[in-house]
Chains A and B, each alone.
Chain A
Amino acid sequence: MKKDNDKNIQEELGELYPLLKNIEVHRPIAPEGYFDTLPDRVVSHIKHEQQSRSTKKQSYRWLHISGVAASLAILIGVYLLQYSSNTIILEDEIYSYYIETGDFSDIDEWTLSNLTDFSDSDDDIEYIFNEGLDDIDDDLFLENY
């Protein structure tokens, strides 16, 4: 790696400080055999790191799969909960609609049969009669009750 287009180091030192020019340079000496063992030690460390990396990777993979599964389970759970609460709301809404409007003209047989709270309640029936809901389909009503 030595030498280049730069000014020669000796010339440079000669200009800066002549005393440094001729000093004998000592090279650090490593313990005997050091350079024969260092590559093995480095490679062994690298192998160890590769192994622990692959173990970590596997752990992360399982963690990832578990995470996705848990997320899916939560999403499905939330969806099912929402669906069932929507159904309850729907029934409540139908019930409220017929009670509030008193308009049973468009009620169908299935809905009527499914309005269990409504159909089983004597109070509700009494309420309908008391409120004078004359336009209710008598045939249909009598047929079901």
Chain B
Amino acid sequence: MSSMSSHNSDHEILDMIQNNNDIEKGYRQLVYKYQEQLYTVVHRMTNNHQDTDDILQNTFIKVYRHIDTFQRKSKLYTWIYRVAVNETFTYLEKKKKKQLRKADMSLVGDVVQSHPLIDGDDISNRLARAIETLPKKQKMVFNLRYFEEMPYQNMADILDTSIGALKASFHHAVKKIEKHVLKNELL
């Protein structure tokens, strides 16, 4: 848990950073406010702490580099989530390429084996394994909706996709998971 118990509003944080009032304090507040939410979302995609940490640092540094371009037309958390999601996709893509170069074609299997939340064979574990079989964008849609219970409108803002497309994607993801879980149930 964060040691900073109360969070400033996004508006106050942006004032500190964009008006050069107290840039350092502003960033500290920003990281305190969003680190745990982002950690959860990113970790569900990477399934390991080290990658999550790298992505989170990159995300906050990107936010620092581009904060001047943020015009307050959208919500700060939507913008930060979008940066984090893009950073996650880029990171995973690079990692996948790296692993492919090493001719390690059993990426999915390895990730599932090392999944820290999978340690048995109950329904939760089967769900976790099933989620790992989803393509990364579908996986992100499923995670945001299922685990974070994020409204479709927010997801649309973050993923830059229509609500209809997101609902369809979530529906497909659920069907794939259902199929996967049922198949493993029979085995």
Main secondary structure of the interface of B (DSSP, over half): helix
Q: In the assembled complex, how far is the CB of residue A107 from the closest CB belonging to chain B, in whole angstroms?
A: 71
Q: Mark B15-33, 1 if CB is under 8 A from A, else 0.
A: 0000000011001100110
A49:B61 contact, CB within 8 angstroms: yes
- Given that A6-B152, A46-B61 are known contacts, is A17 also in contact with B31, CB under 8 Å in the complex? no
Which chain A residue lies CB-closest to B78? Answer: A1
B27:A28 contact, CB within 8 angstroms: no
A26-B117, A46-B23 are known; give 6 further A-B pairs, CB within 8 A.
A2-B149, A6-B152, A23-B123, A28-B52, A30-B52, A46-B27
A43:B123 contact, CB within 8 angstroms: no
Could you tell me which residues of chain B, from 118 to 167, have a CB within 8 Å of some CB in chain A? 123-124, 127-128, 145-154
A1:B49 contact, CB within 8 angstroms: no
Residues of chain B contacted by A41 (CB below 8 angstroms): 57
A38:B178 contact, CB within 8 angstroms: no
Which chain A residue lies CB-closest to B123? Answer: A23
B40:A43 contact, CB within 8 angstroms: no
A3:B149 contact, CB within 8 angstroms: yes
Instruction: Say whether B91 faces chain A, with CB atoms less than 8 Å apart.
Output: no
Task: Please report the C-alpha to C-alpha distance between residue A1 and residue B52 in the assembled complex, in whole angstroms.
Answer: 21
For chain A, the bracket of interface size reads: 20 to 34
Most A C-beta atoms less than 10 A away, residue of B148, B151, B153: B151
Instruction: Say whether A4 faces chain B, with CB atoms less than 8 Å apart.
Output: yes
B43:A28 contact, CB within 8 angstroms: yes
A6:B151 contact, CB within 8 angstroms: yes
Q: In the assembled complex, how far is the CB of residue B31 from the closest CB belonging to chain A, in whole angstroms?
A: 4
A23:B49 contact, CB within 8 angstroms: no
